[in-house]
């Protein structure tokens, strides 16, 4: 990179977020990674200057953020902007997934996914946009999913949050383009990350539920597909390309051809047929 760029990443404790933080730090960026599991902000000060504060095993600053909390987000963005003097790119990776039927999903479980996956991105954008407008440049990279282009059985709320990211990002790009800000959406297919093991199942699904047989088949197939998916480092390479690019595309689909082509297929076949095909793929 011709100059050292400052990149702020959420969800950097694992998966795609961690892979992006490592990749961009190794590429010469000044990287500030954050996650709910991170240490207090004070523990990360000056790590980008080479001092051994924070977690010295990481090639980037790493600190706590809770994207569900507006003050936590504002404090994190203020810290990065003050210490680095600029924010060239934000990569929104924070996300959670709860499996279960729409009927049995607890409202608190649905709310937590919405607060983290979607409203977390909204909070980060609201905090970082004043900085980027003053600079007259910046990139906002939102990690969506192919599940934001097609529904996934027994992950209805997760899909809903990803659909929300799609619409929000399109609207946002139109609003901020006059200020030199680019919005980019990445839509990964199945990716081999810790989310497979960390995924919680809804507490609303009681033993003997009418949904239990189908739910078991679907989640087993989902886990198998994810473990066989592309590694998060491949997504990180795409993110590095976007950060480097002067004119990135708005949307990047990521994954094997059969996954990337699925949203296009649905435009040329009847909806009912497409839904049946997807259900069959998941063993329903």
User: CB-based contacts of 90: which residues, under 8 Å, 6+ apart?
Assistant: 7, 8, 9, 10, 124, 125, 128, 138, 139, 140, 141
78 is catalytic: no
**Rounded to whole angstroms, what are the CA distances from 34 to 37, 80, 227?**
8, 11, 25
Query: Under DSSP, is residue 198 helix (H, G, I), strand (E, B) or coil?
Result: helix
Among residues 144, 145, 202, 262, which one is catalytic? 144
Helix (H) or strand (E) holding 253: strand 251-254
> Is residue 113 classed as helix, strand or coil in its secondary structure?
helix
Strands of 138-143's sheet, edge to edge? 61-64, 30-35, 6-10, 89-92, 138-143, 181-188, 251-254
Please, what is the angle between helix 119-135 and helix 70-84, to 10°? 30
171 is a catalytic site residue: no
| Active-site residue, 179 included | no
60 is catalytic: no
- Residue 40: DSSP 8-state: P
From the list 44, 101, 162, 253, the catalytic residue is 162
Name the active-site residue from 60, 158, 163, 252: 158
| Contact assessment for residue 183 and residue 122, using Cβ atoms and an 8 Å cutoff | no
Residues annotated as catalytic (active site), given as ranges: 13, 144, 158, 162
């Amino acid at each position: 990179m011709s100059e050292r760029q400052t990149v702020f990443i959420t969800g950097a404790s694992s998966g795609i977020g961690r892979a992006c933080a490592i990749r961009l730090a190794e590429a010469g960026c000044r990287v500030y990674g954050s996650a709910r599991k991170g240490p207090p902000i004070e523990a990360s000060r000056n790590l980008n200057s080479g001092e051994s504060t924070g977690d010295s095993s990481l090639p980037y600053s790493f600190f706590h953020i809770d994207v569900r909390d507006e003050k936590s987000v504002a404090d994190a963005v203020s810290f990065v902007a003050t210490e680095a003097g600029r924010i060239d790119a934000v990569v929104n990776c924070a996300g959670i997934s709860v499996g279960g039927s729409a009927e049995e999903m607890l409202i608190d479980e649905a709310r937590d996914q919405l607060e983290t996956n979607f409203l977390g991105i909204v909070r980060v954008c609201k905090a970082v946009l004043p900085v980027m407008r003053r600079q007259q440049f910046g990139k906002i990279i939102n990690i969506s999913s192919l599940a934001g282009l097609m529904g996934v059985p027994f992950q209805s709320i997760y899909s809903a949050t990803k659909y929300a990211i799609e619409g929000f990002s399109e609207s946002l790009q139109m609003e901020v383009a006059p200020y030199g800000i680019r919005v980019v959406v990445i839509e990964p297919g199945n990716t081999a990350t810790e989310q497979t093991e960390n995924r919680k199942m809804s507490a609303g699904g009681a033993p003997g539920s009418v949904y239990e047989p189908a739910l078991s088949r679907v989640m087993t197939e989902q886990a198998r597909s994810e473990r066989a998916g592309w590694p998060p480092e491949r997504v990180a390479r795409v993110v590095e390309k976007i950060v480097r690019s002067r004119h990135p595309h708005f949307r990047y689909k990521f994954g094997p051809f059969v996954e990337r082509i699925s949203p296009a297929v649905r435009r040329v076949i009847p909806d009912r047929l497409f839904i049946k095909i997807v259900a069959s793929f998941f063993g329903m």
